[in-house]
Amino acid sequence: MPIKKLLPLSVLMITYNEQHNIIKVIKNLRGWAKEIFVVDSYSTDKTVELAKKYGAKVYKKKFKNFSNQWNFAIKKIPIKTKWVMKIDPDEIVSKVLKKNIAKEISNNEFSGFFLKRYLWFMGNNINVKQNVLRIWKHKYCSFSNVLVNEHPVVKGKLKSISGELEHHDSPTIFHWLNKQNLYSSLDALGNYKDKYLSFEPKIFGNSIERRMWLKKYFQYFPFKYFLLFIYFWLYLGSWKAGYRGYVWSKLRSFYFFTVILKQKELIINPKSHTNVKDLINKWQKF
């Protein structure tokens, strides 16, 4: 049997206590991407052991913020392939997407590619998709300097690739609440320190600039949480998933409510969220 040719693609992921996900994710990439790299934030479970066992190359770095971890990954890891792909340790690349990626990266006209990420919640697809920039030519990318919800900034022409990137984000509500408790605190702290916008906010700009504008001025909108629920439930189409979609839409609206609560808490008591290190330590002990 001939040896299958691996793509000239290095996959990067950052981890902390992902032993419940890491085997499935690496197995999904093995035999397809040439190299798999993990930047681990000193996990206390078996993440590192399992990642190495199944073929990933592991680097350890103390967590400062998400942008810092990703910039370390793209600048310090000795990547030898032409292409780089960012993936989260709870994402699965479908067979169709793998095939389309292999086809598109052979075209030298583009510097980066958007993928369609489909959200899974409570064990199933909830019919919500996002366009995420996940593949780029090596050394053509840097990450925005924000504490959470970082964005890759890629030089050159970009294109979308069809096929599903499955995001198995929250298998349980407990998992969702635990994770979003950290993210909402980082979002609030970033806002307080003016490190929360990846790009200049423009109401008539591109999709990311419009999103930044909404993020900056959202707290001043009337009926904002109801409008958010309608956006998640109707516009994004989570209603198609029935009860699971309803719960996800309510929780997503609640997330923004907690961010604003924590922002106001910081104004009243700046010591409530002193720095990222303290937040991470509190979250890891939960």
Q: Write the secondary structure of 4-54 as one string of H (helix), E (strand) and C (coil).
A: CCCEEEEEEEEECCCCCCHHHHHHHHCCCEEEEEEEECCCCCCHHHHHHHC
Provide the residue-wise pLDDT of the chain in tens; the chain has 286 residues. 444 689 999 999 999 989 989 999 999 999 999 999 999 999 999 999 999 999 999 999 998 888 889 999 999 999 999 999 999 999 999 999 999 999 999 888 899 999 999 999 998 999 999 899 999 999 999 887 666 667 788 999 999 999 999 999 878 899 889 888 888 888 888 777 665 455 566 666 666 666 666 667 777 778 889 999 999 999 999 999 999 999 999 999 999 999 888 888 888 887 776 655 566 555 554 4
Residues 251 and 217 placed together within one structural domain of the fold = yes
Residues 138 and 23 placed together within one structural domain of the fold: yes
- Residue 3: its pLDDT value, please? 47
pLDDT at site 28: 97
Residues 22 and 114 in one domain: yes
Cα separation of 80 and 31, whole Å? 17
Task: Please check whether residue 280 lies inside any domain of the structure.
Answer: yes
Q: Are residues 161 and 211 in the same domain?
A: no
What is the phi-psi region of residue 237: left when phi exceeds 0, alpha when psi lies from -120 to 50, beta otherwise? left
Q: Is residue 1 part of a domain?
A: no
Given 143, 170, 197, the domain boundary residue is 170
Q: Residue 17's CB: how many other CB atoms inside 10 A?
A: 17
**Is 76 domain-assigned?**
yes
Domain that holds residue 270: 173-284
What is the structure's pLDDT at 286? 44
Query: Residue type for 39, please?
Result: V
The pLDDT score that the predictor gives to residue 212 is 67
pLDDT for 200 equals: 64
Query: In terms of residues, how long is the chain?
Result: 286
Among the candidates 170, 203, 231, a domain finishes at 170
- 141 and 200 in a single domain? The answer is no
Going through the chain in order, the beta strands assigned E by DSSP cover 7-15, 33-40, 57-60, 83-86, 91-93, 112-121, 124-137, 141-143, 152-154, 158-170
Identify the CA nearest to 264 among candidates 174, 184, 198, 168: 184
2 occurs within a structural domain: no
Give the per-residue pLDDT at 205. 62
Q: Do 227 and 146 have their domain in common?
A: no
The angle, 0 to 180 degrees and rounded to 10, between the axes of the packed helices 173-192 and 243-268 is 30
Q: Which distant-in-sequence residues (6+ apart) come within 8 Å of 243 by Cβ?
A: none
Listed in sequence order, the residues at least 6 apart from 183 whose beta carbon sits closer than 8 Å to its beta carbon are 148, 149, 255
Contacts 24+ apart (CB under 8 A), 266-271: 266/188, 266/189, 266/192, 267/192, 270/192
The answer to the question of residue 102 being in a domain is yes
Quick one: 150 and 264 in the same domain? no
Output the pLDDT for position 153.
Answer: 86
pTM score of the predicted model:
0.84
Q: Which residues of 234-256 are buried (b: 16+ CB within 10 A; e: fewer)?
A: eebebeebeebbbbbbbbbbbbb
Residue 202 confidence (pLDDT) = 61
56: how many CB neighbours lie within 10 A of its CB?
22
* 124, 255: one domain: no
Is 12 a member of any domain?
yes
Q: Residue 158: which CATH number?
A: 3.90.550.10
Q: Is residue 139 part of a domain?
A: yes
The verdict on 26 and 161 lying in the same domain is: yes
CA-nearest of 258, 257, 253, 222 to 238 is 253
- Whether 150 and 67 have beta carbons less than 8 Å apart is answered as yes
CB atoms within 10 A of CB 160: 12
My answer on whether 104 and 29 are in the same domain is yes
Tokens of 185: 């605190």
Total count of domains within the chain? 2
184 with 162, same domain: the answer is: no
Tell which of 107, 142, 170 closes a domain: 170
Same domain? 74 vs 177: no
Handedness of CA 71, 72, 76, 81 (dihedral sign): negative
